[in-house]
Amino acid sequence: MTDITMELVKKKKGKALKKNIKNSMGEYIIEKFIFILGITSIAIIALIFLFLFRSGIQLFNDITLQEFLFGRYWFPISVNPQYGILPLVAGTLMVTLGAVFISVPLGIGSAIFIAEVAPPKTKTVLKVIIEFLSAIPSVVLGFLGIVFLSSWIRVTFHLSSGFTVLTGSILVSFMALPTIISISDDALNALPQEYHEASFALGATKWETILHVLVPAASSGIIAAVMLGVGRAIGETMTVMMVTGNAAQIPNSFLVSGRTMTATIAAEMGDTVRNGTHYHALFAVGIVLFLMTSIINFIADFALSHGKKEAR
C-alpha cells in the first residue's frame, strides 16, 4: 500500500465506527437550517393571514360585519362613509364570469389542439407563444386595453365610455388563458398512450377518441386548470383597474363600468390614513379576497389529487 492510501485508511481506522462529533454536528446544523427553510412557506402563509386579520378585524370597531358584508354602497370618502363590499364582490364576480366565458372554451380548445392535434414542431412553437403570453406584465395589457380595446368596445357597442366590465373580462381572460392551457395540456399529456391505441383499435377516429376517451379521462386535471384560471382572474389587479372604469356600483350588465376588490385595494390604499377606518376596510377586503382564492385553490388541489387517485 502506498503512503497516501495508508493515510486514507488511517483516517478511517482512527475513527473506527464511532461518530465523528465535528462532522455529525455539521450535518445536524445543516439539517436543522434546511428544516427552517422548509417551513418558511407555512410561516409566510401564517403571517399573511395574521397581518391581514390584525388590520382587517379592526374595521369592526367602527362598523358591523353585516354593514360590511351586505352593504350595497362603497363610499369610503364621502362625508357619511359607507363600506359595503357587495358592489366590489359583484364587480369581481362579473369580470371573472365574463373572463370564464371567454377563456374556458378558448383555453380547453387550444389545449386539445396543442396536446392532440398539432404536429410536434407546431406544438413547440405554440407552447413558447403561450408561455410568452403569460410573461406579458398585466400593466402592459392594461395599457393596450386603454389604447385599443376600450375604444373598440365603445364604438362597437355605441357606448359613451369603453371602460366596462366586458373590457376587463376580455383582458383578464387573456391573463387566465396560459394557466388554463398549460395545466389542461399537462393533464392530457399525462394520459397513458394505451388510451389512444385502445380507442383507435376499436375503429374510433382521432376526434372521437379525444371527445369520448381523452377529455373525460383528463377531466379532473381540466377542472383544476379552470379553477386555477378562475383564481388568476379573481386576483388580477392592474389590468382591471386600468380598464373597467372603477365605478363602485353593482353592475347590471357587462357593458357598464364596475370595480373589483383588487382594484379597490390598489387604487385607494395610497389615499388612506394609516389605521383609519378606510385603511382597515381595505384590509378587510383583502381578507375576503384571500379566502375566496384559497377556497378556489383547495378545490383545484382536490380535483388534481382526486384525479391522481383515480388514475391509479
Partner 1 sequence: MKKISIKDLNLYYRDFQALKDISLNIDAKKVTALIGPSGCGKSTFLRSLNRMNDLIDGVRVEGRVELENHDIYHKDVDVVTLRSRIGMVFQKPNPFPKSIYENVAYGPKRHGIKNRKQLDEIVEKSLKKAALWDEVQDRLNKSALGLSGGQQQRLCIARALAMEPEVLLMDEPTSALDPIATAKIEELITELKKEYTIVIVTHSMQQAARISDETAFFLMGELVEMDQTQRVFTTPRDQRTEDYVTGRFG
Partner 2 sequence: MNKKIEEGVVFSILSFITMIVVIPTLLIIGYILLKGIGTINWEFLTAMPRQGMRAGGIYPAIIGTLYLVIGTILFALPLGVGSGIYLTEYAKQGMLSRIIRLAILNLAGVPSVVYGLFGLGLFVLFLGFGSSILAGSLTLACLILPIVITASEEALKSVPISYREASLALGASKWQTIQNVVLPHAMPGILTGAILGIGRAAGETAPILLTVAAFFLPRLPKSLFDQVMALPYHLYIISTQVPNMPEEIKYGTALVLLGIVGLFYMIATSIRIKFKISNRA
- Binding of partner 2 by 110 (CB under 8 A): yes
DSSP for 42-100, written as a single string = HHHHHHHHHHHHHHHGGGGGTS-HHHHHH-S-EETTSSS-EE--HHHHHHHHHHHHHHH
108 sits in the region (left: phi over 0; alpha: psi -120 to 50; else beta) called alpha
Long-range CB contacts for residues 304-309, cutoff 8 Å, separation at least 24: 304/220, 304/221, 304/224, 306/220, 307/187, 307/218, 307/219, 307/220, 307/221, 307/224
**Nearer to partner 2 (CB atom), residue 122 or residue 253:** 122
Touching partner 2, residues 251-290 (CB under 8 A): 262, 265-266, 269-270, 274, 282-283, 286, 289-290
Number of chain positions touching partner 1 (CB under 8 A): 17
- Which of 84, 91, 168, 235 binds partner 2 (CB under 8 A)? It is 235
Look at residue 202 and give the partner it binds from partner 2, partner 1, none, a contact being a CB closer than 5 to 8 Å depending on partner kind. Answer: none
Look at residue 11 and give the partner it binds from partner 2, partner 1, none, a contact being a CB closer than 5 to 8 Å depending on partner kind. Answer: partner 1
**Nearer to partner 1 (CB atom), residue 13 or residue 121:** 13
**Nearer to partner 2 (CB atom), residue 165 or residue 209:** 209
Shortest reach from residue 75's CB to partner 2, in Å: 21
Shortest reach from residue 29's CB to partner 1, in Å: 16
- Which of 21, 34, 77, 201 binds partner 2 (CB under 8 A)? It is 34
x/- binding map, residues 3-42, to partner 1, per CB under 8 A?
-xx-xxx-xx--xxxxxx--xx------------------
User: Longest Cα pair distance anywhere in the chain, in angstroms?
Assistant: 94
- Binding of partner 2 by 142 (CB under 8 A): yes
Beta bridge partners of 258: 245
User: 69 near 259, Cβ under 8 Å?
Assistant: no
User: 185 near 130, Cβ under 8 Å?
Assistant: no
